[in-house]
Amino acid sequence: MLSYWETKHFFDYDLVVVGSGFVGLSTAIHFKKKNPKASVLVLERGIFPTGASTKNAGFACFGSLTEILDDFWQMTQEEVVKLVERRYQGITAIRDKFGDKALAYRHSYGYELLEKEQTSALDQMSDINKLLKPIFKKDVFSHVKKKERFGFSDSIQTIVKNGFEGELDPGKYMNELWGLTQKSGIRILTGVSVVEINKDDGIVIAEDAAGEGVYEFKANQVAICTNAFTQKLWKESEIEPGRGLILLSEPLNFKIPWKGSFHLDKGYVYFRELDGRLLLGGARNMDKGEENSTNFSVNPKIKAHLQQLATNVIFPGKEFNWETEWTGIMAFGNKKSPLIQKVGKKAAAAVRLGGMGVAIGWQVGKELASLLSSD
């Protein structure tokens, strides 16, 4: 039962944001900046964001050579270039806003390992460099001639370097966003699961984790930032979940002969050094059907594949143990770019961040805030 004070002060807002990942918090912050007098509430079902934003690998990346080439099968040239530009601008924007130190950003470059059957990608490297020149002013991709110094297995025929990528700590990025929401006077309630949104009236129905009851929030506008979990609240959307697995080794007792963020298999597999350990993740493409899930469990087939890659390809002949593993859930759809649109008289959504929310979450939140503010 609610008190008079609770009913009077806690349920009416100018904006209610559902979901407190990178996109939800970025939306709230940008909206509040544009509308300083507005009351803004963020509702999050987890104790902290429980989707992808604090479960990811922390690559500040915009696409490896083979990933970009692969994109041409689904997107026009213009769309591919636009997406790369958006991702790169997104990375630059968060580095400018929060600073490299706060994000633990390391500009350690991106690398892609090519096996024999992928080396034909090199033939198109200079064309892709030409295509991206207007954005970067320099060549993005270059061929690493002395691949031996990385110590990978002989199955790796060649390595392509991307001079514009880096890596960061997603937990630190989240801390920065939390700090800014607090400073901006935005209220965040956690342990609140939204079960229904009336998108024309701005009514948001939610349940609390304690199972104490069902609550009705009222908003002039509602922002749906639930990414992989969007179907529940916006049934017509064609958002599909995609699970991602990450393995982390124990501290390694040998020196890692490389640094940077590495990709394999058209970007599906990725790895980096983290606090003297190996962080290795991805390989969703090994069992796409099973990975189309919002369940956070670990797929043993994918885990085994990643472990094999680690011992056979990344550190051949070296011994080490795994310390921990976790999964996160991404969102995909019929296009690779994010979906930002009105979904009712009083609601709009920004979802379908794919595997690139570190890079573009902040920017996507800004775009959603502009859409909401224009009403």
Ligand X SMILES: Cc1cc2nc3c(=O)[nH]c(=O)nc-3n(C[C@H](O)[C@H](O)[C@H](O)COP(=O)(O)OP(=O)(O)OC[C@H]3O[C@@H](n4cnc5c(N)ncnc54)[C@H](O)[C@@H]3O)c2cc1C
Name the site residues for ligand X (rule: CB under 6 A).
18-24, 43-46, 49-53, 55-59, 61, 193-194, 225-229, 232-233, 244, 246, 281, 328-330, 353, 355-359, 361
Whole-angstrom distance, CA of residue 267 vs CA of residue 67: 6
- Smallest gap from Cβ 242 to ligand X, in A, equals 8
| DSSP classification of residue 119 | G
Q: How far is the CB of 89 from ligand X (least distance, A)?
A: 13
**By C-beta, is 171 or 276 nearer to ligand X?**
171
Tokens representing 218 are 């009222």
CB of 265 to ligand X, least distance (A): 15
The pair of structure tokens assigned to 39 is 């009351």
CB nearer to ligand X: pick between 52 and 69: 52
CB 244 within 8 A of CB 282: yes
Least distance (Å) from ligand X to the CB of residue 233? Answer: 6
- Nearer Cβ to ligand X, position 150 or 234? 234
Comparison of 55 and 86: residue with beta carbon closer to ligand X:
55
Phi and psi (nearest 5°) for 248?
-125, 130
Residues 224 and 340 sit within 8 Å (Cβ to Cβ): no
- Which distant-in-sequence residues (6+ apart) come within 8 Å of 70 by Cβ? 266, 267
Q: What are phi and psi of 243, to 5 degrees?
A: -80, 145
Closest-by-Cβ residue to ligand X is 51
- Residue 341 has a CB neighbour count (10 Å cut-off) of 12
CB of 261 vs ligand X, minimal distance in Å: 8
Q: Report, in this order, helix, strand and coil percent for the chain, each rounded to 5.
A: 35, 30, 35
CB neighbour list of residue 127: distance below 8 Å, 6 or more residues apart: none
CB of 166 to ligand X, least distance (A): 11
Using the minimum distance from each CB to ligand X, give the nearer residue, 46 or 316.
46
CB of residue 303 to ligand X, shortest distance in Å: 13
Closer to ligand X by CB, 21 or 65: give it: 21
CA 299 to CA 202: how far, in whole Å?
39
Given the complex with ligand X, which of 8 and 232 has the nearer CB atom? 232
Placement of tokens 């094999």 in the chain: 308
